[in-house]
Amino acid sequence: ATPTALLVGTGRGAQLGILIKGPQVLESTRTVDTVVLDKTGTVTTGEMSVVDVVPVDGVTDAQLLRLAGALENASEHPIARAVVAGARDRCGELPAVADFTSETGVGVRGTVDGHEVIVGRASLLGSWAADLPPEVAAAKATADAAGRTSVMVGWDGAVRGILVVSDRVKPTSRAAVAQFKRLGLHPILLTGDNAAVAAAIAAEVGIDDVVADVLPAGKVDLVKRLQVDGKVVAMVGDGVNDAAALAQADLGIAMGTGSDVAIESGDLTVVRGDLRVVADAIRLSRRTLGTIK
Ligand code: ADP
Ligand code: MG
């Protein structure tokens, strides 16, 4: 392989909207056989909005949004941005949060207006969520069935309600998945979201293999397990919680709409966040290296 030919490849890449870290990246791009796709921000737009607010008896929509929004104000997660926007719409200025902590891929906790508040997966609320109020359980079941993400909100020892957020599959994702399959690549949808939501999104884009309810460390483990099985793995993510998995993959692909973390950990960066460009990059690298052998 002559360096010049490889650089032509990287130059073409830039035209397509891909930033390639170095010519050596093209070799792993060429040999990839499995593409692991993070859900939020990769297959979906990650531009979420709150579509349903369900408080328990005795709590108002505004109270639920105000405490959840104040807490989420300290988080960068797409869900957090949606909750903050919804809360500001409804409540205006939000109170300050103290003692904020975030558990990546699980949720957030902190003190707002003197209340200990938690927003996230039921597991983060622990015993508070042991007996879900019936209206919350019903709202969660409805959201799951519709393929919509929901998060529990609790304070001072009890679940106080649930927020449902909507995300949209990117209009380009289904075509991208079809292209991966045509290239002989096996696509897998990976997410920290629950299995019902994951299955709905997977069906919408044509992915048959889904791994859901995964914590950030589990994302790295999945990539490792595939590699132990002899797979050459491309991992595509937005980096909010998958930077380690991007680094573990044979080819880490960062969606350009994501965080700087992802862009740094990626071998390839897809500038405009269009998944079809990943398929283009794989085709390009096969062709480039094919001609210089
Ligand atoms: P994905 O794998 O689809 O990118 P994440 O791993 O980022 O999803 O998040 C997994 C789940 O963790 C979310 O569906 C949500 O339940 C919970 N979660 C993560 N961060 C937050 C947050 N800031 N606020 C509320 N819930 C959160
Ligand atoms: Mg993510």
Residue that is written with structure tokens 């398929």 in the block: 279
Tell me how far apart the alpha carbons of residues 51 and 83 are, in angstroms, rounded to a whole number: 10
Q: How far, in Å, from the CA of 241 to the mean position of ligand 2? A: 6
Mean pLDDT of 23-36: 86
Ligand nearest to the CA of 150: 1
Please tell me if the CB atom of residue 151 comes closer than 6 angstroms to any atom of ligand 1: yes
pLDDT, position 6: 46
Residue limits of CATH 3.40.1110.10 in the chain: 49-166
99: confidence class by pLDDT, cuts 50, 70, 90: very high
Which ligand 1 atom lies nearest to the CA of residue 102?
Answer: 23
178: confidence class by pLDDT, cuts 50, 70, 90: very high
Which residue's C-alpha comes closest to atom 22 of ligand 1?
A: 107
Q: Which long-range contacts (CB under 8 A, 24 or more apart) does 178-185 make?
A: 178/206, 179/276, 179/279, 180/35, 180/278, 180/279, 181/206, 183/279, 183/282, 183/283, 184/33, 185/32, 185/33, 185/34, 185/35, 185/234, 185/282
pLDDT, position 260: 55
Mean pLDDT of 66-90: 96
Q: Which long-range contacts (CB under 8 A, 24 or more apart) does 81-86 make?
A: 81/48, 82/48, 82/49, 82/50, 82/165, 83/50, 83/119, 83/151, 83/163, 83/165, 85/49, 85/50, 86/49, 86/50, 86/53, 86/163
Amino acid residing at 273: G
Q: How far, in Å, from the CA of 143 to the mean position of ligand 2? A: 19
Tell me how far apart the alpha carbons of residues 283 and 188 are, in angstroms, rounded to a whole number: 19
Give the model confidence (pLDDT) of 106-149 as tens digits. 999 999 999 999 999 999 999 999 989 999 999 999 999 888 99
| Catalytic residue status for 99 | no
259: confidence class by pLDDT, cuts 50, 70, 90: low
Mutate to test the pocket of ligand 1, among 173, 191, 246 (most ligand atoms within 8 A of CB): 191
* pLDDT of 4 above 50: no
The correct answer on CATH 3.40.50.1000 for the domain covering 3-45+169-292 is yes
Q: How far, in Å, from the CA of 271 to the mean position of ligand 2? A: 17
Please tell me if the CB atom of residue 120 comes closer than 6 angstroms to any atom of ligand 1: yes
Tokens of 187: 């696509």
Mean pLDDT of 198-208: 96
263: confidence class by pLDDT, cuts 50, 70, 90: low
pLDDT, position 198: 96
10: confidence class by pLDDT, cuts 50, 70, 90: low
Q: How far, in Å, from the CA of 102 to the mean position of ligand 1? A: 11
How far out from the chain centre does Cα 250 lie? 19
pLDDT, position 269: 82
Residue limits of CATH 3.40.50.1000 in the chain: 3-45+169-292
pLDDT, position 290: 58
Mutate to test the pocket of ligand 1, among 121, 149, 194 (most ligand atoms within 8 A of CB): 121
The C-alpha angle with vertex 263 and arms to 168 and 46, in degrees rounded to 5, equals 15
Which ligand 1 atom lies nearest to the CA of residue 124?
Answer: 17
* Superfamily per CATH, domain 49-166: Calcium-transporting ATPase, cytoplasmic domain N (3.40.1110.10)
pLDDT, position 11: 65
Q: Is the complex ipTM more than 0.95? A: yes
Active-site residue, selected from the candidate residues 38, 144, 193, 242: 38
